[in-house]
Chains A and B, each alone.
Chain A
Amino acid sequence: MINKFVRSVAEAMDGVKDGSTVIVAGFAQVGEPRALVDGLIEQGAKDLTVVHNTAGRGREGVARLIGERRVRKIICSFARSRGSVLFEEVYARGAIELEIVPQGTLAERIRAGGAGIPAFFTPTGGGTKIAEGKETRIIDGRECVLEQAITGDVALVEAWRADRWGNLVYRDAGRNFNPVVASAGRLTIVQTQNVAELGELTPEMIVTPGIYVDRIVHVPSGDPPVVIS
């Protein structure tokens, strides 16, 4: 019987190696696998390349991972977030490498990674600094930039419901990067708010089929924090 559930976050994060590329899903604290990132901090892997939409916020999660000097390189679209002090401190000291990527290109590079497309041309970034040092080509009269796929040694995902095969559904805007991140990990680890019996998630409902998922841990962490603006 296939059962991808593990009993703890520690078990979920077991075996992550130093030097790994880790893709972390989530957008604006919604659908963000915070328990898994905390688990990665506990687990101890270092010299990581982290792929995430931002360089972290405040002193939690990806920001804390950076603050603890465990990240060699961050690939993100937005390095300046409210209270992203840890990244700015470490970056100012030259202790982290930054690759800044337009957000749509970031999502597509991850999608391509999961879909076996090694690279693609996109008009995004044509004629800008983003194109510097990259192969470009004029296609239909527009400068397009060759962008490389991203795959993760590890992909971290948050789902709303999961069954034991790893079929996943997401809640509201918690979907965001999660389905593409789930597809792009050699080891895809999911934290889920709720557990479903096999068959409860109907074929039409399932957003991420379990084929992409390796390990699941049940973390009923509740609603994401409400943003006070």
Chain B
Amino acid sequence: MTNWKPWSREALAARVAQDIPEGWYVNLGIGIPTLVGNYVPPDREVILHSENGVVGMGPAPSPESLNPWLVNASRQHVTLVTGASYMNHADSFGLVRGGHLDLCVLGGFQVAENGDLANWSRSDNDRAPAIGGAMDLAVGAKRIWVVMEHTTKDDEKRILERCTYPLTATACVKRVYTDLAVIDVTERGFVVIDTVPGISFDELQTRSGAELHAG
């Protein structure tokens, strides 16, 4: 019997949003990261970038205000905020690689204690590989935060000493938000800075494939 409950997708998105300060330029990846935008308080100016050439994305449109020409990189219809701008794809990735984004929040399959990230393929023989913009974002943004479940549905560990899946980028992850904990990736490895209420450090450690340190 456990006396703790994992964070839901929504709670996790809200937990990430809480840590994004005003003024940051942020790119949100596919999946839970996309939800983060919904939880940034409306009075906090955080500017969202999308790889397909939008700086200043707003929330999803109402059916009446939907613009079929305006999508994000996850292929969802979005809106613009006042002050938004468009650019071409090469310029958009130029600002990514050029270190102009304060933060990119990505989904992940595995994160290693040296900051390596695997989030695009589970096998060397992928039938239809898909990288998209993940590799550019992972090397380019000033900070990479990864949001993922702490283990797979089959209880395989995802917080690891070394990734076993093909890498997206090396030594790029600064922080991991799982459904159980918030963990910084530091010089001395994984440092736990927050957990869901009620879980013990040992319980968290047994669900992790690398040594955790108390924050």
Kindly state whether residue A188 has any CB partner on chain B within 8 Å.
no
- The contact string, 1 if C-beta is below 8 Å from chain B, for chain A 51-94, is 00001000000000000000000000111110010011001100
- The contact string, 1 if C-beta is below 8 Å from chain A, for chain B 125-145, is 011111111111001100000
Kindly state whether residue A224 has any CB partner on chain B within 8 Å.
yes
Contact check, A100 vs B69: say whether CB atoms are below 8 A apart: no
Kindly state whether residue A119 has any CB partner on chain B within 8 Å.
no
Contact of B69 among A92, A107, A174 (CB under 8 A): A174
Kindly state whether residue A95 has any CB partner on chain B within 8 Å.
no
- Complex: A133 Cα to B168 Cα, angstroms: 17
Interface residues of A in 155-180 (CB under 8 A from B): 170-180
Contact check, A173 vs B53: say whether CB atoms are below 8 A apart: yes
In the complex formed, the residue of A with least CB distance to B117 is A128
- Tell me the minimal C-beta distance from B5 to chain A in angstroms: 28
Contact check, A103 vs B166: say whether CB atoms are below 8 A apart: no
In the complex formed, the residue of A with least CB distance to B51 is A103
Interface residues of A in 189-223 (CB under 8 A from B): 207, 223
Number of A-B contacts (CB under 8 A): 155
Kindly state whether residue B88 has any CB partner on chain A within 8 Å.
yes
Number of interface residues, chain A, beta carbon within 8 A: 56
- Complex: A6 Cα to B177 Cα, angstroms: 55
Among B37-45, B89-97, B186-194, the one that faces the other chain is B89-97
- The contact string, 1 if C-beta is below 8 Å from chain B, for chain A 99-113, is 011111101101100
Kindly state whether residue A28 has any CB partner on chain B within 8 Å.
yes
Kindly state whether residue B67 has any CB partner on chain A within 8 Å.
yes
- Tell me the minimal C-beta distance from A57 to chain B in angstroms: 9
Most buried by A among B67, B94, B139: B139
- Tell me the minimal C-beta distance from B6 to chain A in angstroms: 25
Kindly state whether residue B77 has any CB partner on chain A within 8 Å.
yes
Kindly state whether residue A187 has any CB partner on chain B within 8 Å.
no
- Tell me the minimal C-beta distance from B10 to chain A in angstroms: 17
Contact check, A30 vs B71: say whether CB atoms are below 8 A apart: yes
- Tell me the minimal C-beta distance from A201 to chain B in angstroms: 16
Report 11 cross-chain contacts, Cβ distance below 8 Å, ordered by A residue.
A77-B130, A80-B128, A103-B132, A107-B93, A128-B170, A171-B69, A176-B53, A207-B88, A223-B69, A224-B68, A227-B76
Query: Could you tell me which A residues sit within 8 Å of B by CB distance?
Result: 27-31, 55, 77-81, 84, 87-88, 91-92, 98, 100-105, 107-108, 110-111, 122-130, 142-143, 170-180, 207, 223-227, 229
